[in-house]
């Protein structure tokens, strides 16, 4: 009944589900800022929202507008063993 792939025909349920997911990503980006600030800033930029800080993480008060995605972490190439 709550499988996300089954709510695609219910616009309101789909919007609520997507908002919850985007809000969770925004919260995670805010919490990871002290540890990996560049990745946090890129994530928030891609969500099209602003840094809110912990006090600004109020559910339902954010709008998300996607921008062009970018790589958060560069791929680490493995060197051949010698």
pLDDT category, 68, cuts 50, 70, 90? confident
Phi, psi of 26 (to 5 degrees): -60, -45
Q: Are 23 and 62 in contact (CB under 8 A)?
A: yes
Q: Where do the H-state alpha helices sit in the chain?
A: 11-32, 37-47
Give me the mean pLDDT over the 60-82 stretch.
82
Average pLDDT over residues 43-66: 81
The model scores a pTM over 0.85:
no
Q: pLDDT at position 1, please?
A: 58
3-state secondary structure at position 7: coil
Contact 46, 67 (CB under 8 A): yes
Q: In the chain, pLDDT over 90 holds for what percent of residues? A: 18
Question: What are the tens digits of pLDDT across the range 33-54?
Answer: 999 999 999 998 888 887 777 7
């Amino acid at each position: 009944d709550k499988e996300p792939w089954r709510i695609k025909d219910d616009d309101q349920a789909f919007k609520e589900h997507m908002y919850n997911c985007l809000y969770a990503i925004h919260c995670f980006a805010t919490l990871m800022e002290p540890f990996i600030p560049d990745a946090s800033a890129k994530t928030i930029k891609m969500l099209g929202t602003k840094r809110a800080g912990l006090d600004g993480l109020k559910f339902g008060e954010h709008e998300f507008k996607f921008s062009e995605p970018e790589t958060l972490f560069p791929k680490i190439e493995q060197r051949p063993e010698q």
